[in-house]
Structure 1
Amino acid sequence: MIEFFDHNLVLQFLDSVFLQGDGGIFGFMGKGRDALGSDDPIVKGLIPTLFGVTLFGILLNFFNSAVRKKMVDQTKLKRIMKETRRWQKERMAAMRAKDTAKTAELNKKSAYMNKMSMEMMQMNMRPMMITFVPLILIFYLVLPQLFAHTVALSPIPLNVIPGDFFHLTCTAEQVADPDNVCTQENALYLWAWYFLSSIAFSGIIMKLTKTSMGAD
């Protein structure tokens, strides 16, 4: 059930947020800025900015993990994940082997497994209802005041996702535009560096706090 999650929903949400421009569902927080970041940031310099944004990503990951640990029964969650994954693996193996008897037997558990998957999803979503609001407030009100529009440099372009709304790095065309916040090609946006650094440390932090969403 969870494996069929439509990733287009994530991209549509990011499109509605307008990370690199005014408008979107959080546009009222933008205060006229052309993109997340400041023309005259409090934190100046590439190195302090790199570590500053990374630190925010680490701290927010610890906050998310603390909320998960408090609200989610990790033992129950991992038990459900192991059970559903084992059922899915057995079912796929039976289907590949064209073992109709085994497939039919496993299909009888579909309703129960869907119920378990839904419960697992609800357990994972519950902490997000708590962490989402402070994360958005920090992301839209605090970080843009502290840091510049672009905060790091990449040796290569990172715009691997099609479309103009989800650029991780500045393009040559954006640098050539005098009205754009980009001043150097392949510079990483504030939100993009936060996004990448947060992902880089999230798995480590979840392991340390024993709040991993994987079945060990």
Structure 2
Amino acid sequence: MIEFNFILNFLDLVFLQGDLLGLRGEGPLGSADPIVKGMLPSALGIIGFSILLNLFNAGVRKKLVDSVKLKRIMKETKTWQKARMAAFKSKDQAKIDELSKKSKYMNKMSMEMMQMNMRPMMITIIPLLLIFYFLMPTLFSYTVAISPIPLNVIPGDFFQLTCTAEKMALDVENGIGPFCGTENEIFLWAWYFLTAIAFSGTIMKLTKTSMNE
């Protein structure tokens, strides 16, 4: 089962990358004259932020979420969904009708599970915004690592993880930047996103906040 934390990280970073606060200006998040110089120190520094923020998220989650109740709801919901799917496959109408009677209750449980998972995000998003918008851009450059391949798997310009030759040429044409030194450099926000996802599962297991424990 995919960790709900992955979804939360994705939602966080969509929000951050979109610059809804209007603080980023013309270019991506970062500085033309960062305090931390060089890609390796920058990449390692952001990994440090990723680990610390994941630990903070796990701590908040441990305090706010009743893990025993959450796991019980998850198990009950999964069992019901599995039984319902089996009934549909076997075309057992009597079983389908029996399980359908619990639909309202199961929907209520699913909503409660969603609320329990979203509650920590309402708290952790505030320090994340402060760090992401006011601290990281002064510490690090626009790009902090290089990928051997393009990582822009989602079509369009909104969710670009790495620099493209087309975007670099467009920036030159518009007289802004440069924000990238070469193609496939990874943006600051994107490197944080990737490293946060990479460490979240391990940290949740170590802190016993994983839903799969």
Establish whether TM, by shorter chain, passes 0.5. yes
* Cα deviation, residue 33, structure 1: 5.6
Percent sequence identity over aligned pairs: 65
* Cα deviation, residue 46, structure 1: 1.4
**2:197 aligns to what SS in structure 1?**
helix
**Could you list the runs of 4 or more consecutive aligned residues of structure 1 that deviate by over 6 angstroms after TM superposition?**
none
* Cα deviation, residue 34, structure 1: 2.1
Q: Which residue of 1 aligns with 2:207?
A: 209
CA contact (8 A) 1:174 1:182 kept: no
* Cα deviation, residue 18, structure 1: 7.1
Structure number with the bigger relative contact order (C-alpha 8 A, sep ≥ 6) is 2
Q: Which residue of 2 aligns with 1:158?
A: 151
2:21 counterpart of 1:26? yes
Instruction: Tell me the distance in 1 between the aligned counterparts of 2:161 and 2:186.
Output: 6
Q: Structure 1, unaligned stretches of length 5 or more? A: 1-6
**1:123 aligns to what SS in structure 2?**
helix
Aligned with 2:97 (options 92, 104, 109): 104
2:152 counterpart of 1:171? no
2:29 counterpart of 1:36? yes
CA contact (8 A) 1:94 1:103 kept: yes
CA contact (8 A) 1:37 1:145 kept: yes
* Cα deviation, residue 74, structure 1: 0.6
2:188 counterpart of 1:190? yes
Instruction: Tell me the distance in 1 between the aligned counterparts of 2:50 and 2:41.
Output: 14
**1:151 aligns to what SS in structure 2?**
strand
Q: Which residue of 2 aligns with 1:125?
A: 118
Query: Could you state the TM-score of these two structures normalised by the residue count of structure 2?
Result: 0.88
* Cα deviation, residue 183, structure 1: 1.9
* Cα deviation, residue 75, structure 1: 0.7
Q: Which amino acid aligns with 1:128?
A: M
2:54 counterpart of 1:61? yes
Instruction: Tell me the distance in 2 between the aligned counterparts of 1:154 and 1:34.
Output: 20
Q: Which amino acid aligns with 2:34?
A: P
* Cα deviation, residue 209, structure 1: 0.5
* Cα deviation, residue 26, structure 1: 1.0
Instruction: Tell me the distance in 1 between the aligned counterparts of 2:127 and 2:211.
Output: 22
Aligned with 2:44 (options 51, 66, 74): 51
User: 1:95-150: CA deviations, max 9, x gaps?
Assistant: 11111111111111111111111111111111111111111111111111100000
**1:104 aligns to what SS in structure 2?**
helix
Aligned ranges for residues 75-114 of structure 1 at < 5 Å? 75-114=68-107
Query: Could you state the TM-score of these two structures normalised by the residue count of structure 1?
Result: 0.87
Q: Which residue of 1 aligns with 2:128?
A: 135
Instruction: Tell me the distance in 1 between the aligned counterparts of 2:16 and 2:189.
Output: 11
2:69 counterpart of 1:71? no
RMSD: 1.8
* Cα deviation, residue 182, structure 1: 1.8
How many aligned positions are there?
199
Instruction: Tell me the distance in 2 between the aligned counterparts of 1:132 and 1:111.
Output: 31
